[in-house]
Each structure stands twice: as C-alpha cells, then as structure tokens.
Amino acid sequence: MSQTTFQGSFVALVTPFRNGQVDEAKLRELVELHVANGTDGLIPCGTTGESPTLRHDEHRRVVELVVEAARTRIPVIAGTGSNSTREAIDLTKHAERAGASGALVVNPYYNKPTQEGLYQHFRAVADAVSIPIIAYNIQSRTAINVETATLARLARDCHNIVGVKEASGSLDQMSQVIAACGPNFSVLSGDDNLTLPLLAIGGHGVVSVIANIVPREVADMVHAALDGDFKRAREVHYRLFPLARAAFLETNPIPIKEAMAIAGMLEPEFRLPMCRMSDTNRETLRAVLRQYALVK
C-alpha cells in the first residue's frame, strides 16, 4: 500500500462560464486565489466543476489550464471519472500527460455495477496510469456505494490507489475505511460539515465546496485539526457551519456559484440542466453570506 500522498484542504473547483464558454481568465484568477490562501490542492472537473456538462475538449482544456496556472505550486488532482471505464481511462491518461499530480475517479454512475464490477473498473483505470488515484465514493449521485471491503481490496492490489473522497455521509463507514485501509490511505471528506468529525477519527482532509469562497478559513480549520489543535479547529468549524449548510440549499454547485456571484467572484452562469437558484433561496443564501462579510 502506498504512503499517504494527499492531506489537507483541497478545493472542488467550480468551472466559471461566460456567454456559454469556459471563462479561462476567471479560472486562472481562481487558481491564484487558492495558491494565495493556503489551499493544499486543486480538483478541477469534479461534480462541483459541472463535469457532466463539459464537452471532452472542454474537460481536457480545463485540466490543462489549471495545471498550467498552478505551476506546480500546489498539486492538481483532475476529475477523470466516467460511467464508461474506457472513457475514464482516456481522461485519466490525458490528466497524466497534462502534468496532473493525481486523478479523482468517481463511482460509475447509472450503470449500477456490482462490487466486482467496481473493483475491475477502478483497477483498470489505476493500471493504465502511474499517477496516484483517489476513488470518489458518492452513492447519492451514482446509485452505488463502494463497500469498505472493495476499497480495501483496491488499496491492497493497486499501489497507486492511495485514497478516497468519502461522500457517503456516514462516519461509521469512514471509520471502517480507516480501520481497513490503514493510516497511510488518504481519507478525505466529501462533505464540508463532516470534515472536522472525520479529522477527529483519523481522516486526512477535505475536498471542499465552500473553499471556493472561503479558502483560507477551510485551510485553517483543516491544518489546525491536523496539528492537534482541535479547540481552534472547532471554533472555525462552527463559524463555517452555516455556510456549509447553505451550500446545499439546492443541488451542488448551484448555491456555491450563486454565492460566488453575489460576492462578485464570477458570473452566475450554469450549464443546463443546472440552472439559477430560486429567488427565495438566493435571499436565504445572501443572508448567510452577510455573516462572512462576503456580500458586495
């Protein structure tokens, strides 16, 4: 099993659009924001990056641009998952060629494979590249859970499957994963409101949605907990908790992009079937943002 590769605060980077196209200048600005504010790694083309609605050429371009803009100052872990194993392999090979430090590979969605099918899928992707792979377990969006026994088998058999973004919402399952896969297997929270509890039981960090708008605060909380300063980490956790809840007033990434738009960070533009937030929820979100002095 590999030594721990990824630890800290990783941002599930949004993909900014303008007039129907990827806003490349804005994406570069966002990379600089995270480098300047202590984010430990960038994850483009994940769920928060609206990857299902990016064309393949756009997906590849976003990965290339983020790697280029990061200039090796912080790692880039490219979202490369698909419900087609062949497509996931192609995207992961591209990420490797582009210079990504690793790849985040989501459960195959809609197909609803067996645990054996999941094992073979992740192993095929891992065998096709040399960069580290983080599995992304999110049953709520994929209809299937990567069971702990399957994950432990992958960690044992594939030297470059080094961690999991755990978005099951279950601390019980996270505890099982840490116990089964060992302390050197990176377990990252997929839910901002569970980051601190996960760190308290031996997790390694977070792939954060709210770090898109409060990167310094999320990094401070994670680093405090990793340093054993749980008093400080709890203070930041409770400060961020209302924002973490508001980020899921509607389907992610609608609230976080609306929040960033309210804060003047990007245009409130989505790819259908993602759409603008309801007026009622937007006002609720705006009220939460006032607590963080983010309303302009």
Of the listed 26, 119, 136, 257, which one is catalytic?
136
> What angle in degrees, to the nearest 10, is found between the helix axes of 279-290 and 254-262?
60
Of the listed 165, 231, 257, 292, which one is catalytic?
165
Helix (H) or strand (E) holding 208: strand 205-208
288, 275 in Cβ contact below 8 A?
no
In Å, what is the CA distance from 48 to each residue of 18, 71, 147, 210, 274? 17, 22, 24, 10, 11
Helix (H) or strand (E) holding 90: helix 85-98
For 52, which DSSP code?
Answer: G
46's CB contacts (< 8 A; 6+ apart) are 12, 13, 79, 104, 106, 136, 207
168, 159 in Cβ contact below 8 A?
no
165 among known catalytic residues: yes
- Residue 286 and residue 213: Cα distance in Å, rounded? 13
| Tokens linked to 33 | 């924001």
CA-based nearest residue to 276, from 292, 293, 259: 259
- Residue 261 and residue 257: Cα distance in Å, rounded? 6
136 among known catalytic residues: yes
**Residues with a known catalytic role:** 136, 165
